[in-house]
A and B are shown apart, each in its own frame.
Chain A
């Protein structure tokens, strides 16, 4: 049986807009518009899409914060909106934008309260805390009030808090937003190990394609409340016909590079931009270039997820 099941799940909000001094117009926004997917136990899935696509709304329904307007939703066989507090024992949630820790208290106090609140057996608590402290570098931060932590430190603190009670599934809403490169790497490594060693199911929303590339075999793309794509990341590039960009620095100014496997986007002095499909390797292209042109430097730019999705959406609705 699948661990997470969504069948035609909908969430419709009534939005009131002022149209006159006293008159208000009511209209409906379909934040999630008939989404179906399943996630087996132990899978790590990326859930991506532009702002306002419905990602956070989906997470809120999966955790029981919001009640769906329609469809069927089950997590570990439980209907989250009906048995929110029972489900809370079995899930961990990290909101990138806001902390679940107690703002004015040291991290240690927050953890101590979680310990009692979730009725975590002492040995389990000690073991999980030690592990998180070690892997997430929290030793120096335990006595610091949460409000004094940097964003990256707080995020690591939040991830630890979400895992102390051994949740079967971990939801991460933008876990790397605003983090520096080192913090991002730490968080990603930790999540990979968690998934590999404990078999924790992970569902993460992100804007950062690198998160997905490094963590998830499977990615789901949502836009305008609908599931646009569900499959491997590589496949996403094919479906979206996305292109990578090769930035080429030549020894001198030359006419636009003419190669079959790429098209020239722009020429600026000795620098030229070439576009090639994201689904093919850059190596043959680079080899062909090196053979025929005097190269100084090269760099490859990955396609922007927003661009991929925008293109995908344009094609679907065309």
Chain B
């Protein structure tokens, strides 16, 4: 594990150094990433210029949901966003070149073309979250504060698991990058809105099938003191770390199965 992290750091450092060789270009692409992702929040602001509440949620409350998922997803996208190129690597055979290096393949794929500009998404997520925290009148407890601090980390771990599991699926279906995107990018957009505006079956699906609801919905409802639309027990709010660990474990198994299959069939 320490070796894997070291290798990840080495590859990331190389890409960061190469990005920093063109500082102006880095600044522009980061601002671009910031602006492009912040557009999602502009959409929400436009909606609130016509209505006072969305599914019973005020603007600061929606901003809270938006900020928590954007930060979590931004973190996962920064660390693992390159995973969706795996299918292409399998197809054109360049995956083989990674298999002859003394470093885990997962690390090499994840760190490939590490894009520091993705900090733009995290920045705008944190800004919106700050706005929500300043505006909202939350009765803080230790549990709520701990939950808030853990949300980006557990959320990032859940999204990272989806990135890895999606990549593992690309060992079998090389064109499946879009399927993966619908869960990662699509999931992020979904979580920016309150669960009360969606069909209950969809909410159940992202709670029990692909557990994206644990990124922010489940813990946020607790922090905001909101009713859960599908009536989950209170203790569900404490589950995100458990769910995140479970997701990472399953994703690791899926990755191993995918790589094993590749090594027995080739391309």
Contacts and interface: CB of A to CB of B under 8 A. Distances in A.
Question: Is the pairing of A and B real?
Answer: yes
Interface of A: 13-14, 57, 60, 63-67, 69, 81, 84-86, 88-89, 91, 93, 95, 97-100, 102, 104-105, 109, 112-113, 116-118
Interface residues of B, number: 23
B102 A118 contact: yes
13 contacts: A67-B260, A85-B103, A88-B100, A95-B96, A98-B93, A98-B97, A100-B100, A102-B14, A104-B113, A109-B14, A109-B18, A116-B10, A118-B102
B99 A65 contact: yes
Interface in B93-112: 93-94, 96-97, 99-104
A14 B265 CA distance: 7
A105 B14 contact: yes
B7 interface: yes
Contacts of B104: 85
A86 B10 CA distance: 19
A93 B100 contact: yes
B99 A63 contact: yes
Contacts of B221: none
A88 B105 CA distance: 12
Given A65-B100, A93-B97, A113-B11, 10 more contacts: A13-B266, A66-B264, A67-B264, A89-B102, A93-B100, A98-B92, A98-B93, A98-B94, A109-B17, A117-B102
B202 to A, nearest CB: 31
Interface of B: 7, 10-11, 14, 17-18, 92-94, 96-97, 99-104, 113, 260, 263-266
Nearest to B7: A117
A67 B94 CA distance: 18
B263 A67 contact: yes
A105 B113 CA distance: 10
Contacts of A85: 101-104
Nearest to A15: B265
Contact of A97 (B10, B93, B99): B93
For the complex of A and B, 9 pairs with smallest distance between CB atoms:
A88-B102, A100-B97, A93-B100, A65-B99, A116-B10, A85-B102, A89-B102, A67-B263, A113-B14
B96 A86 contact: no
A89 B101 CA distance: 7
Contacts of B260: 67
Given A14-B265, A66-B266, A88-B102, A98 B96 contact: yes
Contacts of B96: 60, 65, 95, 98
A81 B263 contact: yes
Contacts of B265: 13-14
A100 B89 CA distance: 12
Contacts of A88: 100-102
A28 to B, nearest CB: 12
Contact of B14 (A98, A100, A112): A112
A98 to B, nearest CB: 6
Nearest to B93: A98
A213 to B, nearest CB: 28
A99 B97 CA distance: 7
Nearest to B266: A66
A95 B95 CA distance: 12
Contacts of A112: 14
A95 B98 CA distance: 12
A288 B99 CA distance: 58
Nearest to B104: A85
Contacts of B263: 65-67, 81
Nearest to B94: A98
Contact of A64 (B92, B99, B266): B99
A98 B88 CA distance: 14
